[in-house]
Structure 1
Amino acid sequence: MTTIEPHRVRAGRGTELGLLAIALIIGIGAYALVGLGVEGEVPPDVVGYAAGLVGLALAMHVVLRWRAPYADPVILPLTVALNGVGLAMIYRLDLAYAAKPNHDHGFAGRQLAWTAISVALAAIVLILLRDHRTLRRYTYTAMVVGLALVALPLVPGIGQQINGARIWVRIGPIGMQPAEFAKIALAIFFAGYLVTHRDTLALAGTKVLGLQLPRARDLGPIIIVWAASLAVLVLERDLGTSLLLFGMFVAMLYLATERLSWVVIGLLLFVGGAAVAATAFSHVGARFEAWLHALDPDVYSRTPGGSGQLVQGLFGMAAGGLFGTGLGQGRPDTVPYAESDFIVASLGEELGLTGLMALLMISLVLAERGLRTAIGVRDGFGKLLAGGLAFVVAFQTFVVVGGVTRLIPLTGLTTPFLAYGGSSLLANWVIVALLLRISNDARRPAPVLSALTPAGGIPALDEPEGDDEPTERIRTVR
């Protein structure tokens, strides 16, 4: 016997609006507390700041209602919360920098402008990209673009070396870190390549000590990406980008094949390659020496490449303790580049371990929603792309926090959504837009069974009536 049981599938936009209100309260409240902590009064421009932040969040919410009504309702509020707290901390550092003679400041205003541009770009991606599977057509184009972006800082005339790493390009007044955009292009390439070749990579090979090892002929892709990551490490002196790109490829390779052997091979390749590079190239070895012997007086005072910045950040977080000194009550400005590379140390000092763990939990939940999207979407390309993008956000956060806390060598990466930097903010908001687009397809109701033929034939299929209203899905129970 067959019965028809209808149930409603909710889009979740109302839930998103409520969570957005909480996220905005966190961001705007942090901004107000900074003014109270530093100057004893609420910042005079708090109303205009709040209006701008609310306007950007609501605009993105409206775009989602219009173009991606079934997108995950948690991703946008989490992003807005992180972005808001980052803006508040950058504003707090601006106030400290303004009191120092001949010290650059005004970072908060520029970061707010970059936030507006980033949200607008994310909205454009959602409007123009109606189906994420369209990106699969550009698999090898994305590879070329990604590799070109990674190599761009090596081009004479536009590449710039800052703090020992050659990761910047400058064209006129505009400067950027092209590797931030390269990770998106390479994620598209990896997803397109692996979804085509995953059967060969997953099934072929011999079993040794419980691990199914791949055939020698199938090692080509991982060897090429490994060589490219080492080239970045050696030529651009950029451990962060090297680790991030290779880690993303290995993670997506594991998602595609579910073979632990690829992870083991990847770890052995990177650790071995990094060890050889540290021995053969002095600038790579200096980075590892600053990590291993951070408290050595000679290493601490070395310029450049010393561990002074790292040690100052550690002392700042130690001063914050469990609950922090309070927003505006610490001295995070004593750490060089506190608004970018070391904003985690600044947050740890003034918010304490509790506040820093809360921010890391938000980042973790954001990555979890991305992985949940990967599980829910129906096509292989979408699964790999969503999984890769979610991993890269989580892994970049781990690499930055691990470097600041001396768990791993310090890298030049920025904390997603928290640290100052237009390139990082633009790229990470595009990642959020792609995750929202894929999650819309993952959560969209399946076609509706409108009727059963009297003779027991094939039922007709109706598409959902509209994107903006909850749709009834018919479930057949036998």
Structure 2
Amino acid sequence: MPAASDLPSADATEAIGKPTNREFSASNLTQTITIRLRQPARLRNIELALLVLACGICAAAMILVQLGALGRIETGVLWGGSSVLLLALIMHVVLRVVAREADPFILPIGLTLNGLGIAEIYRIDLSTVGKAVETHAGTRQIVWTIAALVIAIAVLLLIRNYRVLARYRYIAMFVSIVFLLLPLVPGLGREGLNARVWIDIGPLGFQPGEIAKITLAIFFAGYLVQARDSLSLMGPKILGMRFPRPRDLGPILIIWAVAMLVLIFERDLGTSLLYFGLFLVMIYVSTGKASWVVLGVGLFLGGAIVAATTLSYVHGRFEAWLNPFASSTYNAYGGSYQLVTGLFGFANGGLIGTGLGQGSPQTTPLAQSDYIIASLGEELGLAGLVAILGLYLLLVSRGFRIGFVGQDDFGKLLGVGLAFAVALQVFVVMGGVTRVIPLTGLTMPFLAAGGSSLLSNWIIVALLLRVSDGIRTGPRVVVG
């Protein structure tokens, strides 16, 4: 009988009938190379098809606005809008070269929302034709969109590896502090109707807080990667839930204090909520401890209640929210007139809307900026709003997917933080105009008129695309 050592092993038995190691490796390598070549091309082809669809939606919206409001088509503004579509296609070409595995849905969604916003802003401009003061916010929005797309392309070209941003986390913190303080500088800051969040640079107005939310996300991601272990250590147990140790409460107390200072000195409830909510979600994703959320929500609600009882402008927002139809609130300066007319606009739109160019969105104050969603709700109806919210939901879900698929902690936190910043803005604005929560000073991403908001949101798009390319979200075959 043969010796035990002469019998084939289990591994050798399984290998019978299979190619040799060299043959298997060569075959597998060829298959891997083929998949790696096809996968990026497939992603970019999907993006191109969706971009063509997005361009068609944007062009159709502009044409329908002109036909509804004017009864004819004017080609002048269409040529300006076509430059935006051309730049989006150029950005697609850049992605084919420098970020071939980037998410294919983000750019078309951003373009569609931006195009719908331009069309509705232009429609509100048409309502001022022939009046004493004609607005040209639609033209300005096109110019700002072109600038925002150019900057987004520059971000893609300059930042080839998003992980290098972690090295500059403290620089990002310093830049955030500077941007937060700029509106308070005498001679530079400009006070709006309620909030002091704008600065004047020559003839241009800019809202530095919009850029600060990006730099804060970079700082939070870099900081939490380092401090995650200490922040995850739990302290005393209260009501069945373990809370952080007292010595680890410093970061959340500092951010809470910053949010309250923004609320007090800049009179901006929305921005303070955005900054604090951004940090709260990122610390929860970093540590996985729900006690941070409970603690953070309690801190913010406590601060908001104190502010509502001691600060007149915050108290006015709560009064307009709770009693919008009371005559004293309706007629007061900064009262509920805007909120009520926006609600009537939604009601006038009904299920399918009045049609682009055929409603009266200009009745609501700031219809092209703070209340752009009410303007679209009137002319596109509930069905159109559901479609728009569906686009936001898809955009945010792709951002969350980018974050959770990533292998490195910095990319995960940055992706989730940037996506959540968009999600929180949409919720706060939509909740405010529909009277779910009090009104704040935030703007609807991509839709509302304003260059600062457009610049920041397109930078967010560029960073999400860069992160998605860096973590390689698509399926891959790895050769051992």
After TM superposition, the score normalised by the length of structure 1 is 0.91
Is the Cα–Cα contact under 8 Å of residues 32 and 46 in structure 1 kept in the other structure?
Answer: no
Gaps of 5+ in 1: 447-471
Deviation at 1:43, TM superposition (A): 2.7
Gaps of 5+ in 2: 1-10, 16-23
Q: Secondary structure at the match of 2:191?
A: strand
Q: How does 1:1-40 map to 2 (within 5 A)?
A: 5=28, 6=31, 8-9=35-36, 10-11=39-40, 12-40=43-71
- For residues 299 and 422 of structure 2, the distance between their equivalents in structure 1, rounded to whole angstroms, comes to 23
Q: Secondary structure at the match of 1:438?
A: helix
Is the Cα–Cα contact under 8 Å of residues 400 and 413 in structure 1 kept in the other structure?
Answer: yes
- For residues 202 and 48 of structure 2, the distance between their equivalents in structure 1, rounded to whole angstroms, comes to 41
Is the Cα–Cα contact under 8 Å of residues 405 and 473 in structure 2 kept in the other structure?
Answer: no
* 1:82 counterpart residue number: 113
Q: Secondary structure at the match of 2:101?
A: coil
Q: 1:332 aligns with which of 348, 356, 361?
A: 361
Q: How does 1:177-188 map to 2 (within 5 A)?
A: 177-188=207-218
Is the Cα–Cα contact under 8 Å of residues 77 and 139 in structure 2 kept in the other structure?
Answer: no
* 1:273 counterpart residue number: 303
Query: What whole-Å deviation, never above 9, does each CA across 1:369-399 have from its counterpart, x for those lacking one?
Result: 0111001222111110110000000111111
Q: 1:95 aligns with which of 126, 145, 161?
A: 126
Instruction: Give the paired residue count.
Output: 449
Deviation at 1:256, TM superposition (A): 0.4
The answer to whether the aligner puts 1:314 opposite 2:343 as a matched pair is yes
The answer to whether the aligner puts 1:67 opposite 2:71 as a matched pair is no
* 1:368 counterpart residue number: 397
The answer to whether the aligner puts 1:264 opposite 2:302 as a matched pair is no
Q: How does 1:53-452 map to 2 (within 5 A)?
A: 53-102=84-133, 104-303=134-333, 305-443=334-472
* Change over 3 Å in CA distance of 1:445–1:290 after alignment to 2: closer
Query: What whole-Å deviation, never above 9, does each CA across 1:264-309 have from its counterpart, x for those lacking one?
Result: 1111100100101111122221111111111111111011x21101
User: Once superposed, which parts of structure 1, at least 4 consecutive aligned residues long, lie more than 6 Å away?
Assistant: none
After TM superposition, the score normalised by the length of structure 2 is 0.91
Query: What whole-Å deviation, never above 9, does each CA across 1:49-94 have from its counterpart, x for those lacking one?
Result: 4531331111100111111111001110000100110111011011
Amino acid at match of 1:84: G
Is the Cα–Cα contact under 8 Å of residues 254 and 263 in structure 1 kept in the other structure?
Answer: yes
Is the Cα–Cα contact under 8 Å of residues 432 and 440 in structure 2 kept in the other structure?
Answer: yes
Q: Secondary structure at the match of 1:133?
A: helix
Superposed CA RMSD: 1.6
* Change over 3 Å in CA distance of 1:50–1:152 after alignment to 2: closer
Is the Cα–Cα contact under 8 Å of residues 363 and 394 in structure 1 kept in the other structure?
Answer: yes
Q: Secondary structure at the match of 1:169?
A: strand
Amino acid at match of 2:281: A
Query: What whole-Å deviation, never above 9, does each CA across 1:17-41 have from its counterpart, x for those lacking one?
Result: 0000111111111000001101112
* 1:449 counterpart residue number: none
- For residues 250 and 59 of structure 1, the distance between their equivalents in structure 2, rounded to whole angstroms, comes to 37
Is the Cα–Cα contact under 8 Å of residues 445 and 473 in structure 1 kept in the other structure?
Answer: no
- For residues 445 and 420 of structure 1, the distance between their equivalents in structure 2, rounded to whole angstroms, comes to 35
Percent identity over the alignment is: 54
